[in-house]
Amino acid sequence: MDLLEYQGKRYFARFGIPVSPGGVAVTVEEAVARADEAGYPVVIKAQVRVGGRGKAGGIKLAADAAEVRTHATSILGMDIRGHFVRRLWVEHASDIAREYYASFTLDRSAKLHLAMVSARGGVDIEQVAAEDPDAIARLHVDPVEGLTAASARRLVDEARLDPEARDSAVEVLLDLYRCYVQGDADLVEVNPLILTPDARVHALDAKVTLDDSAAFRHPEWEEFRELEGEDPREVLARQKGLQYVGLDGEVGIIANGAGLAMSTCDVVNQVGGSPANFLDIGGGANAEVMANALEVINTDEKVQAIFINIFGGITRGEEVANGIVQALDSVDIRPPIVIRLDGTNAEQGREILKDRESDRFISRSTMLEAARTAVELAGGTVK
């Protein structure tokens, strides 16, 4: 999950990383109120999950309320590379002496964390990496050992930050590393990390990607999701422990395992249909999980037919069948269902479902046949 800048800054602040005071606004008047609170001059910043907002005109300095009005009016509703601006962050503007770069991310191939620091911040780091790779100091951090003050110091020295910035930069790096590890992030990036004329080091931007697989130990992350404008079906699915991806077609797909779910999407496409979603109920899915999956899909009005594709390994056919029966008994499932059940205890599963079969609940023995039937039932033309 990617955080918006202001959410990332709040995350940073929890770990002691210095950020500017400011507030969120969704209207021009709110922007003026937040600016009055933060103290002029202020900077008005579009909150979208995409970089390069500055270049796109999504970041403006304002010296007074009139300027805040002008800029807030132009930035709200702006389209920044396909991202619609609904929200602004208004913070007290900083004086900038120098712009640096600092980040921690996971280097999967090295199986280590990777720290990067550069004295050439404020510009796209990929560009710096291409033009002047030596301008980026890199350090692999062993997660067991953690980041020591001595290695943070070496990194800052190697990046040739200005001498008066180095002590504070070391502190920021240590806090940023804690934020990255304890905060369960996959990426924390500060670009620019600034040096002010009065020699303070300060995060002017924040990019934080949280590690979704750690969400179970962070109930407080819900606050970030609420604002994400997420697909309500995805929210419902996650609450029920399911992996759901909303798509645009008309065939709802439930499969066990991401691989099977993806190939089911492909087969539906291949026979001339189009998937409405991708729902992986995982390995070892039981009756309750299946009932939940049907409930989630049932909330999607685009779905004209549901295709359940189960290849039982750890997942057992009779459990799946019981879940379907349970769902049919408890929820009024609107679209017709096609099921292909194979693998572990598939026979028993089919036996359980036999009584329920009708023209709205059809069992097919192969994935291809099942896909064709589902596309047909969804009103599509089968190829």
Which positions are annotated as active-site residues?
101, 189
Q: Which two tokens stand for residue 310?
A: 């189960």
Q: Which two tokens stand for residue 179?
A: 């934020």
Q: According to the binding rule CB under 5 A, does residue 205 interact with Mn ion?
A: yes
Q: According to the binding rule CB under 5 A, does residue 5 interact with Mn ion?
A: no
Which window, 55-63, 87-95, 177-185, 188-196, contacts Mn ion (CB under 5 A)? 188-196
Q: According to the binding rule CB under 5 A, does residue 191 interact with Mn ion?
A: yes
The binding site for ligand GDP (CB under 6 A) comprises 43, 51-54, 59, 93-94, 96, 99, 122, 191-192, 204-205
Whole-angstrom Cα distance, residue 290 to residue 349?
13
Closest CA to 49 of 244, 227, 243: 227
Q: According to the binding rule CB under 5 A, does residue 300 interact with Mn ion?
A: no
Whole-angstrom Cα distance, residue 5 to residue 264?
37
Residue 35: contacted member of ligand GDP, Mn ion, none (CB under 5 to 8 Å, by partner type)? none
Check if the beta carbon of residue 382 is closer than 8 Å to that of residue 272: yes
Cα four-point dihedral sign 319, 324, 327, 329 = negative
Closest CA to 185 of 157, 242, 224, 153: 224
Residue 312: contacted member of Mn ion, ligand GDP, none (CB under 5 to 8 Å, by partner type)? none
Q: Which two tokens stand for residue 20?
A: 């500017």
Residue number, 38 or 291, with CB nearest to ligand GDP: 38
Residue 52: contacted member of Mn ion, ligand GDP, none (CB under 5 to 8 Å, by partner type)? ligand GDP
Residue 99: contacted member of Mn ion, ligand GDP, none (CB under 5 to 8 Å, by partner type)? ligand GDP
Which window, 198-206, 286-294, 319-327, 367-375, contacts Mn ion (CB under 5 A)? 198-206
Closest CA to 11 of 230, 213, 203, 227: 203
Residue number, 190 or 255, with CB nearest to ligand GDP: 190
Q: Which two tokens stand for residue 375?
A: 């596309």
Which window, 3-11, 81-89, 183-191, 254-262, contacts Mn ion (CB under 5 A)? 183-191
Token look-up 């999504």 returns 58
Shortest Å, Cβ 173 to ligand GDP: 18
Residues that bind Mn ion (CB under 5 A): 191, 205
